[in-house]
Amino acid sequence: MTPEVKDLLNRLLRSIDYERDEERERHLEEMKKLSGKAREYKGRAIVELKKKKIGRSLGGDYLYLFRKQRGGYLPDTEIGNGDQVIISQYDPLDVENPKGTVYEMSNTSITIAMSSQLSMSNTRPIRIDLFVNDITYMRMETALSNAKSHQYSRLHALLSGFYNANTKPFDYENNELNQMQVQGIRLALGNNGYYSIQGPPGTGKTYTAGYLIQRMVQTNHRVLITADSNAAVDNMIRKLVELGENPLRIGNPIRVNQDLKEYTLDYKVMQHALFNEIETIESKIDMEKEAQKHLDKPSMKYTRGLTHKEIMELIEKRQSARGIPKQALKEMKPWVKSQLTIDDLYDKLKEVRDEIRSQLISSHNIIATTNSTAGSELLLYDHFDWVIIDEAAQASIPSSLIPILKGERFVLLGDHFQLPPVVLNREAKELGLAESLMDYLAKKYPYQMTMLTVQYRMHQKINDLVSQLFYDGLVEPHNSVAHRKLDFGKKVIECIHVEGDEQMQSDSKSYFNELEMSKVEKTIERLMAKGLTEDQIAVISPYKAQATQLRKRLLNRFEIDTVDAFQGREKDVVILSFVRSNEDERIGFLKDYRRLNVSISRAKKKLIMIGNFKTLKTDRLFREMLELVEVIEG
C-alpha cells in the first residue's frame, strides 16, 4: 500500500467521526433547544400521539400505529419510511428511550417497527423524534479498516492511480439498446478490475444496467447490486424483473416499495418449506410466555449479574450463593426453568431462520441491497464475481467500499457531473468524504469510462442547454423526444426575472423568497388555465425553506421538492425557483455546477426558471447559461 492510499483511508476514517458527531449534535442540540411543537414545525418530530399495537412485521418486529390524540392529519415532516426514531413521553434526551424504525406512513398515521414490545400507555401523549442511525457509520469504518488488509492489494493499486486498468471489449449485441449503451456493456464486461458508465440525465443508465447484470448472470456469474439509497436499489430490481430475472432483495422490508415485497428475503423466508417450523416454535414461545405470567419472577437483587443458566445450576446443586437464601432459590425455580425453555426456543428459532436465509442467499445469482446493508451479518461470508453500484456518484468512497470489498470486479454507474454525496460537516468535506469513488477514479483513469450520449427525456432545446453547459455538446435527444412539447406557447425555456428579497429562515441557514413564491403561484395558474393538470407540473428549488413554504402555500397539490431530492425524477413542466436575490453578488451553493445541472435537466417539455438574474449573472456559469438560452430560443 502506497503512503498516498494509506493516508486516504486514514483521512476518511477521521472524516466519518466528524460527520457522525455533526449529525448527532444537530439532532441533540435541536432537541435541547426546541420544544416538541417547535421541532414538529421543522419536520423532525411528531408530538401529541397515541399508540396502538397492530401486529408483527415480516421480519418479526412488533408494529405500533401512532395517531394524533385528537385525530386528524399528521403535519408535514421529514420523517419517512426506514428512518430511525426515538419514542418518548417525558424527556426525549433520556438514553433509555426506545428506538424504532418507521415502517409505514399515511396522512393520518405513522407505523413504527420495534425489536421489543413498547411499554408505554396512552395516559400521556407520546412524541416521536427523528434521530441518527449509527449502523451505516460503523459499517463504513469497518470497510475502511478492512480495506487496509494485504488481501486487497489490487484495490490499493487502483486507488493509487498506478494500476494497469484496462478492458478487452466483450462480445455483446442488443437491438434494444443504442450504440453507446452497448459499448458501455461490452467494455464493462471486459474490464480487469473496474469500469464506469456515466449516465447524463435521461440517458437510460439504469435501463443499461439491467441488461449488463442480465448478461453477467447468463455467463454464470454471481452479482451483488447496490446503491446508496433504497429507491435506487428498487429501480434496478424493477428493471431486472422486467427482463425476467429473479433478484433477491436484502434489507429491512420496511424500506422496500410495496410492489417489490415478493422479492425480499423476509417474504421468501415465509414461503420456504421450513417456515412451518418457525411458526411452530413461535407458537411455543407465546404459550410459554403466557404460562410464565402466572409464575413469580425472581427479584433483581438476587439475580443481578447471574445468567438464567447459572441460577439453575445453583438451584440444582441446592447451594446458596452471593447471599441468596436456599428458599429463595427454590421459589425461583419454576420461573427460571420457564425462561430457560424460552431461551432455548429462541436459539432454535434463530438457527432455523438462519438456515433458511442461508439457503435463499446461496440459491440466488443476483443479490440486491443498499451499500450499507452489504456490510450486514447476512452477507458476511458471501463473495461475488461482480459488484454493480448504481447512483455511484452520490455515494462516498467509504460507502462504496462496503460492497466493493465483497467482489472480484466492480462497475460504477452514475454521473459525477450531477450531485455529489451529501456531507454535513466542514472538516469531513475537507478530509474527502464528499468525493465519490466514481469521481476519484475518473480523475485517475479517465479512459475507463463510457458516457451514454442519447437521452430520452428532454426536448431538443432543453437538451441543448444541458448538453452545451455540462457535456461538451455530446448528449443528443432521441427522435422520440426531440420535438415533444406542450400544445401552447412558443418558448420551451422561459426565464422570468423577479427582484424579490431573499430571507434566511430564522432557525436555519436556508433561504426563501416571498416574491418568487407569488410568481410561482401565478405561473402555475397560467399553465393550468391552458389545460395542464397537477400531475404534469413540478416545482423545485435549491433551498429547503422555499420548497417547504411553497408546499404549504400550494396545499401539497403539486410535486414540490428541493433540487437535491428531485435528482432522478422528471416532469412535463418544471418550474425552478432560484431564491437568491441581493446586491452583494452572493449566490451560495448555487455556484456548484452539479446542482445547476440537476436543476435544469428535470423537465421533459418545458423549463421555467424564476429568479433575480441580475444577482445570478454575477456568476460565470449562470451568465453562460442565460446567454445560451437566448441563442437557443432565438
Please tell me whether residue 46 adopts helix, strand or coil conformation.
Answer: strand
Q: What is the mean pLDDT of residues 67-83?
A: 84
| Domain co-membership, 369 together with 436 | yes
Mean pLDDT of 500-516: 89
| Predicted pLDDT at 425 | 96
Residues 323/303, Cβ–Cβ less than 8 Å: no
409 and 548 assigned to the same domain: no
pLDDT tens-digit map of 98-156: 999 888 888 899 999 988 888 888 889 999 999 887 888 999 999 999 999 999 999 99
Note the pLDDT of residue 353.
Answer: 86
Q: Which of 132, 165, 193 is the C-terminal boundary of a domain?
A: 132
Q: Quick one: 617 and 549 in the same domain?
A: yes
Q: What is the DSSP string of 320-361?
A: -BTTB-HHHHHHHHHHHHHHHHHHHHHHHHHHHHHHHHHHHH
pTM: 0.85
- pLDDT of 215 reads 97
Most confident residue range from 72-76, 405-409, 563-567: 405-409
| Of residues 600, 598, 597, the one with CA closest to residue 609 | 600
Please check whether residues 496 and 625 belong to one and the same domain: yes
**Dihedral, CA atoms, 588, 591, 597, 601, nearest 10 degrees?**
50
> In the prediction, which pLDDT does 230 show?
87
Q: Where are the beta strands (DSSP E) in 98-193?
A: 99-105, 109-114, 126-130
Do the domain assignments include residue 210?
yes
At residue 255, the pLDDT reads 66
Q: How confident is the model at residue 319 (pLDDT cuts 50, 70, 90)?
A: low
Q: In this predicted structure, what is the pLDDT of residue 322? A: 58
Looking at residue 318, what is its pLDDT?
A: 67
568/241 Cα distance (integer angstroms): 20
pLDDT (average), residues 65-77: 89
Domain co-membership, 490 together with 513: yes
Position 8 pLDDT exceeds 80? yes
Domain that includes residue 296, residue range:
278-357
Last residue of a domain, one of 332, 357, 382: 357
Residue 254 lies in a domain: no
CB atoms within 10 A of CB 78: 12
- Going by the DSSP 8-state scheme, the letter that residue 274 receives in this structure is T
CB-based contacts of 483: which residues, under 8 Å, 6+ apart?
459, 460
Q: Tell me, what CATH number does 59's domain have?
A: 2.40.30.270
Q: Are 348 and 368 in a shared domain?
A: no
Cα 446 off chain centre by: 28
Output the CA–CA distances (angstroms, integers) from residue 462 to 558, 562, 622, in the order listed. Answer: 22, 20, 15
pLDDT tens profile 134-147: 888 999 999 999 99
What average pLDDT does the segment 398-414 reach?
97
In a domain, 1, yes or no: no
Q: Assess contact for 433 and 11: CB atoms under 8 A.
A: no
In a domain, 139, yes or no: no
pLDDT of residue 103: 84
Q: Are strands 571-577 and 537-541 parallel, antiparallel or unpaired?
A: parallel
**Most distant pair of Cα atoms in the chain: their distance:** 97
User: Can you name the residues that pair with 69 across neighbouring β-strands?
Assistant: none
Please state, in angstroms and rounded to a whole number, the distance separating the CA atoms of residues 422 and 433: 9
- Asked if pLDDT for residue 172 goes beyond 80, the answer is yes
Residue 298 has pLDDT above 80, yes or no: no
Let me know if residue 260 belongs to a domain. no
Bridge partners of 624, per DSSP, are: none
Residues 474 and 620 in one domain: yes
At 567, the amino acid letter reads: Q
4 inside domain: no
Residue 523 has pLDDT above 80, yes or no: yes
Q: Compute the distance between CA of residue 103 and CA of residue 57 in angstroms, rounded to an integer.
A: 9
- Answer whether residue 459 shows pLDDT above 70: yes
For residue 81, is pLDDT > 80? no
Only one residue has cell 446461496, namely: 362
Model confidence pLDDT, tens digit, residues 541-597 = 999 999 999 999 998 889 999 998 888 889 999 999 999 999 998 999 999 999 999
Do both 534 and 436 map to the same domain? no
Alpha-carbon distance of 602 to 618, in angstroms, equals 24
Q: Give residue 304's pLDDT.
A: 61
Instruction: Give the mean model confidence (pLDDT) for residues 450-463.
Output: 98
For the segment 340-352, the average pLDDT, to the nearest whole number, is: 88
In a 10 Å sphere around its CB, with 0-12 CB exposed, 13-18 middle and 19+ buried, how is residue 508 labelled?
exposed
In the 8-state DSSP scheme, what is residue 297? Answer: P
Using a CB cutoff of 8 Å and minimum separation of 24, what contacts does 467-474 make?
467/200, 468/628, 469/593, 469/596, 469/597, 469/600, 469/621, 469/624, 469/625, 469/628, 470/200, 470/417, 470/593, 470/597, 471/200, 471/417
The CATH number that applies at residue 158 is 3.40.50.300
373 and 346 assigned to the same domain: no
Q: What is the pLDDT of residue 41?
A: 85
Q: Domain count for the chain, please give it.
A: 4
Residue 505 predicted with pLDDT over 80: yes
User: Does residue 285 sit in the same domain as residue 425?
Assistant: no
Give the pLDDT mean for 14-27. Answer: 93
Evaluate whether 43 touches 79 at the Cβ level (below 8 Å). yes
DSSP string computed for 76-104:
P-S--TT-EEEEESS-TT-TTS-EEEEEE
pLDDT at 60 over 80: no
pLDDT of 302 over the 80 cut: no
pLDDT, greater one: 309 or 366: 366
In the chain, % helix, strand, coil (3-state, to 5) comes to 45, 20, 35
What share of the chain has pLDDT > 70, as a percent?
Answer: 97
Query: In this structure, is residue 551 part of a structural domain?
Result: yes
Q: Taking residues 472-484, what's their average pLDDT?
A: 97
- Shared domain for 48 and 81, answered yes or no, is yes
pLDDT bucket at 78, cuts 50 / 70 / 90 = confident
* Residue 63 within any structural domain of the chain: yes
pLDDT of residue 329: 72
Choosing from 433, 452, 471, the residue where a domain stops is: 452
- Same domain? For 591 and 471 the reply is yes
pLDDT of amino acid 80: 77
